């Protein structure tokens, strides 16, 4: 896994190799990262320096061909000849910005090495080793340790850096990345996952040209603007073929990822804490830990790269009782009632949900203080007795007596000026002395750098958790940080990082002693969907946008970096609250089941057939939940731009589930075919459409063509029929071996207006079908 021979480090996973060496001057020269190589001499792979590039600076006059600028490096400083962007901008004890870290020693450690300040990956199966390399800038007595942890079975290598100051004069860190590496340009494109509120993680790509592209956040969180994870892919890569590198960061604050193509066609990749507003002083004997960066490589295209990330997260990031466990189907009252609810209303919703097969009831915002709208109450976690007259313990017992688990929403990092907490402790909120703070959603951010604030949050949340029967917590965070300032820290350049350290401290203190609680992190949806939060919360609310057509983009984007077991996905009402789009309930479910399924709508006004449909959906989901949440996920490329195809295969290949989604229908749709990947080619399977209902309402005025009598399409009779009667959607059934399934099943015609019978697939705009493929016999 890790070897060292004649100055060369060889790190290998099942299918990848990562090699670098110590140069004659003591720098770490990157040699290779890619598909697994046999041990062999490195000369063929080394960059050749047989001519000095004009204007470049030689590191040492004894070798004028040795210029740091033209080397492929594992780490680089400033001021010694490398003019690309450095991973470290340090004001050194000698007062200069020049740093030059040279190899001193190394050791190999079994397992992963924990950090003192930050969460990181871990290993409980003996499948990893860590290489620790110590470098020194001798004249400044500064030591830099680089850690490489090799997760052999997931084809992942993580990297991070720790800087120590041994000098009696201080060292000021203005930028310290977790990793950097120089790769030879292979015609890369860079893929990022960007967006904003209700449009998180949309995939974007661009060619890697000369210069630098930065993927970063400055909001105080990992952000919905740019997820910290990004990819570098060769230009011809498809979902299943071609070389792709994936990078991500175990961090929830301001991140920074940069890809810089140099004039020598080397591509420098860096990842770490955003240097924006960052400054950290190290006095003698002090150290600074950077968050852990995660790297993977696959020749199996984007799906291959995603598979590595998914395995790594499920095995080495998610921890505690919920690791690898199937997640409950929940109902959340937020989109049903927002702030307007009573205990009676909640219990009725819970009862109806229970009858449909839901397993957990989640009480969202509005249960505490004077929180009847978003102007007041944040900070006061005392139960609103007008809404829940006998308190939370009583209410949670009532829910449990219905046969449901109980979950509760909090937004502990925030305070409304109209709250008892703020009136008593104005100083708990972040603000700059003498300046009126900026507001977001009528709220201020609590100063998590302040230990007293952290104690308040830990005790107020823990009290509720311990007095009631709580199995799940939704931890929300609904605004970006402004006026970054804390009276409790040395310098304000520490603020953003100390805020996140404060958050991790709070989460550790509340949830580590209560491992039975399933934590779902949320930040106005996916504003903090990152590996740092996943170290505490096994799942994250993907987006406030529950429109299934929008979710096709959001969940697909997230799936490049994160497993389906980490994505909260709910069925809500249509027309949708943000897009006004009317979508069939089948599609809302068919998209949500590729994740951790929940429902978030008022069940009261649903007719008999709609409720029956939901009941069947939940039963189906429970039957295949393991495959959906933990199976191997594939994004299947479709030749048609109005189709999205997803699929999951169980670990033992005994079953697969596939979803075919149509966005905007086009007239006269041609044939569709559905490839099912990853099954055993020798095994016979039964392929069947999941039965689903077609509601009369969908046909509107067209219904008159099939009814013997003329009926008002918007009249009482048809409205009533719509609640009581639904038609069955087309079901197809075939027997096929895994090899034929991989080639693709040709599906029945779609409805095009000229013919209709039970063998016609009726998709239209936003229609979809699920298919279940099971081992025959």
Which residues are annotated as catalytic?
476, 544
Distance CA 432, CA 492 (A): 11
Name the region of 220 (left: φ>0; alpha: ψ -120 to 50; beta: rest): left
Nearer of residues 198 and 718 to ligand GLA, judged by Cβ: 198
∠ Cα 188 190 195 (to 5°): 165
Distance CA 658, CA 634 (A): 9
**Contacting residues toward ligand GLA, per CB under 6 A:** 334, 364-365, 409, 476, 478, 522, 524-525, 541, 544
What token pair was written down for 165? 């100051």
Nearer of residues 414 and 674 to ligand GLA, judged by Cβ: 414
Nearer of residues 190 and 601 to ligand GLA, judged by Cβ: 601
CB of 102 to ligand GLA, least distance (A): 49
Is the CB of residue 348 less than 8 Å from the CB of residue 376?
no
Nearer of residues 18 and 409 to ligand GLA, judged by Cβ: 409
What token pair was written down for 229? 């994870």
Q: Is the dihedral of CA 637, 639, 641, 644 positive or negative?
A: negative
Nearer of residues 292 and 365 to ligand GLA, judged by Cβ: 365
DSSP state of 401: H
Is the CB of residue 299 less than 8 Å from the CB of residue 541?
no
CB of 412 to ligand GLA, least distance (A): 13
Angle between helices 343-356 and 391-401 (to 10 degrees): 20
Is the CB of residue 525 less than 8 Å from the CB of residue 244?
no
Nearer of residues 367 and 456 to ligand GLA, judged by Cβ: 367
Distance CA 616, CA 599 (A): 14
CB of 371 to ligand GLA, least distance (A): 9
Share in percent of the chain as helix, strand, coil (round to 5): 25, 30, 45
If we measure between CA atoms, which residue out of 24, 28, 21 comes closest to residue 7?
21
Is the CB of residue 230 less than 8 Å from the CB of residue 215?
yes
Nearer of residues 290 and 566 to ligand GLA, judged by Cβ: 566
Is the CB of residue 318 less than 8 Å from the CB of residue 264?
no
Distance CA 267, CA 233 (A): 12
CB of 441 to ligand GLA, least distance (A): 8
Task: Decide: helix, strand or coil at residue 680.
Answer: coil
Nearer of residues 167 and 572 to ligand GLA, judged by Cβ: 572
CB of 10 to ligand GLA, least distance (A): 46
∠ Cα 596 657 598 (to 5°): 20
Nearer of residues 257 and 328 to ligand GLA, judged by Cβ: 328
The residue of the chain with the least Cβ separation from ligand GLA equals: 365
Distance CA 721, CA 285 (A): 77
CB of 474 to ligand GLA, least distance (A): 6
If we measure between CA atoms, which residue out of 546, 523, 524 comes closest to residue 533?
523
Is the CB of residue 177 less than 8 Å from the CB of residue 271?
yes
CB of 523 to ligand GLA, least distance (A): 7
Distance CA 304, CA 239 (A): 8
Distance CA 616, CA 618 (A): 5
CB of 411 to ligand GLA, least distance (A): 7
The separation between the first and the last C-alpha atoms of the chain, rounded to the nearest angstrom, is 42
CB of 387 to ligand GLA, least distance (A): 15
Strand locations in 220-347 (E): 226-234, 244-249, 255-261, 266-273, 280-282, 287-289, 293-298, 330-332
């Amino acid at each position: 896994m890790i070897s060292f021979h004649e100055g060369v480090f060889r790190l290998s996973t099942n299918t990848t190799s990562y090699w670098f060496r110590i140069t004659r001057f003591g720098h770490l020269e990157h040699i290779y990262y890619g598909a697994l190589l046999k041990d062999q001499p490195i000369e063929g792979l080394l960059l050749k320096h047989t001519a000095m590039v004009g204007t470049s600076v030689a590191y040492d006059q004894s070798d004028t061909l040795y210029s740091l600028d033209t080397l492929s490096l594992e780490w680089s400083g400033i001021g010694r000849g490398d003019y690309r962007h450095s991973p470290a901008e340090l004001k050194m004890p000698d007062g200069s910005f020049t740093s030059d870290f040279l190899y001193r020693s190394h050791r190999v450690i079994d397992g992963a090495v924990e950090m003192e300040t930050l969460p990181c990956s871990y290993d409980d199966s003996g499948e990893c080793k860590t290489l620790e390399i110590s470098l020194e800038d001798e004249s400044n007595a500064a030591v830099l340790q680089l850690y490489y942890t090799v997760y052999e079975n997931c084809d992942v290598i993580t990297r991070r850096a720790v800087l120590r100051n041994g000098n009696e004069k201080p060292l000021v860190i203005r930028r310290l990345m977790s990793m950097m590496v120089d790769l030879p340009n292979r015609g890369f494109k860079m893929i990022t996952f960007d967006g904003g509120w209700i449009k998180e993680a949309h995939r974007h790509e661009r060619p890697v040209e000369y210069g630098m592209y930065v993927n970063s956040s400055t909001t105080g969180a990992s952000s919905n603007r740019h997820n910290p994870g990004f990819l570098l892919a060769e230009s011809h890569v498809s979902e299943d073929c071609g070389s792709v590198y994936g990078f991500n960061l175990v961090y929830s604050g301001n991140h920074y990822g940069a890809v810089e193509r140099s004039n020598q066609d080397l591509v420098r990749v860096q990842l770490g804490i955003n240097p924006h507003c960052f400054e950290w002083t190290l006095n003698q004997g002090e150290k600074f830990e950077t968050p852990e960066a995660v790297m993977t490589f696959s020749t199996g295209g984007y799906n291959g790269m995603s598979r590595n990330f998914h395995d790594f997260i499920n095995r080495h990031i998610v921890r505690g009782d919920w690791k690898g466990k199937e997640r409950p189907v929940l109902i959340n009252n937020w989109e049903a009632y927002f702030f307007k609810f009573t205990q009676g209303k909640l219990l009725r919703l819970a009862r109806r949900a229970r009858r449909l097969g839901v397993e957990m009831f989640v009480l969202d915002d509005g249960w505490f203080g004077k929180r009847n709208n978003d102007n007041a109450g944040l900070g006061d976690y005392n139960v609103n007795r007008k809404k829940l007259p006998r308190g939370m313990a009583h209410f949670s017992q009532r829910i449990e007596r219905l046969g449901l688990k109980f979950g509760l929403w909090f937004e502990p990092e925030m305070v409304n000026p109209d709250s008892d907490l703020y009136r008593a402790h104005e100083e708990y909120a972040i603000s700059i002395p003498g300046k009126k703070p900026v507001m977001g959603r009528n709220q201020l951010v609590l100063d998590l750098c302040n230990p007293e604030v952290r104690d308040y949050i830990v005790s107020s949340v823990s009290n509720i958790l311990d007095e009631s029967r709580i199995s799940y917590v939704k931890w929300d965070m609904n605004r970006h940080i402004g006026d970054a300032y804390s009276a409790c820290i040395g310098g304000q350049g520490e603020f953003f990082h100390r805020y996140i350290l404060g958050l991790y401290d709070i989460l550790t203190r509340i949830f580590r002693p209560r491992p039975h609680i399933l934590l779902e992190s949320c930040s106005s949806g996916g504003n903090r969907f990152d590996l740092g939060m996943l170290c505490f919360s096994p799942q994250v609310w993907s987006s406030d946008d529950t429109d299934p057509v929008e979710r096709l983009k959001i969940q697909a984007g997230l799936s490049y970096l994160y497993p389906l077991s980490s994505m909260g996905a709910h069925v809500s009402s249509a027309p949708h609250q943000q897009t006004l789009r009317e979508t069939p309930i089948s599609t809302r479910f068919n998209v949500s089941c590729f994740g951790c399924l929940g429902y978030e709508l008022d069940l009261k006004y649903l007719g008999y057939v709609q409720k029956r449909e939901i009941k069947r959906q939940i039963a189906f989901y429970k039957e295949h939940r393991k495959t959906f949440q933990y199976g191997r996920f594939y994004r299947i490329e479709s030749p048609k731009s109005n189709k999205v195809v997803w699929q999951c295969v169980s670990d033992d290949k005994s079953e697969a589930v596939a979803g075919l989604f149509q966005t905007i229908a086009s007239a006269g749709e041609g044939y569709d075919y559905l490839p099912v990947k990853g099954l055993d080619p020798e095994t016979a399977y039964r392929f069947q459409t999941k039965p689903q209902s077609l509601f009369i309402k969908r046909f509107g005025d067209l219904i008159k063509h099939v009814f013997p009598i003329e009926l008002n399409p918007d009249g009482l009779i048809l409205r009533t029929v719509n609640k009581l009667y639904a038609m069955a959607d087309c079901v197809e059934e075939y027997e096929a071996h895994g090899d034929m399934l991989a080639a693709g099943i040709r599906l029945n015609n779609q409805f095009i207006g000229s013919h209709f019978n039970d063998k016609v697939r009726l998709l239209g705009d936003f229609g979809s079908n699920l298919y279940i493929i099971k081992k025959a016999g």
